[in-house]
Amino acid sequence: MRWANNTQGDGIVSPALHLGMALLIMLTVGLGWYGGGLPGGPEKGDVFYWHKRLGALLLRCWWSGCCGTGCRRCRPVHCGVGKQSWPGPGIICTTC
């Protein structure tokens, strides 16, 4: 079992992160539906507090995955000379 992704397939970390995000999304949606049916009061405020906190966490996780190393522009670019480089978003490798 590999930890990291490579050209032959995904490691264990990538599916675990995707599963974690899916569970957080389901929990956040479930809290929103549950809190929507509650009458006004302290319990409803507590439920929506956690709903908003989990939503903010999901947004931060999505943003870091999309703008950190998750988007195609940020992944390593294979150069024609057999090297891999990290040129950064929107920058084309100059050695190709």
pLDDT at 1 (0 to 100): 67
pLDDT at 33 (0 to 100): 94
**What pLDDT tens digit does each residue of the chain (96 aa) get?**
677 777 777 788 888 888 999 999 999 999 999 999 999 899 999 999 999 999 998 888 887 766 655 444 444 555 444 444 444 444 554 444
pTM of structure = 0.60
Answer for the pair 84, 77: CB distance below 8 angstroms, yes or no.
Answer: yes
E-state strands within the chain? 77-78, 84-85
Cα separation of 83 and 68, whole Å?
21
Average predicted confidence (pLDDT) for the chain: 75
Answer for the pair 10, 17: CB distance below 8 angstroms, yes or no.
Answer: no
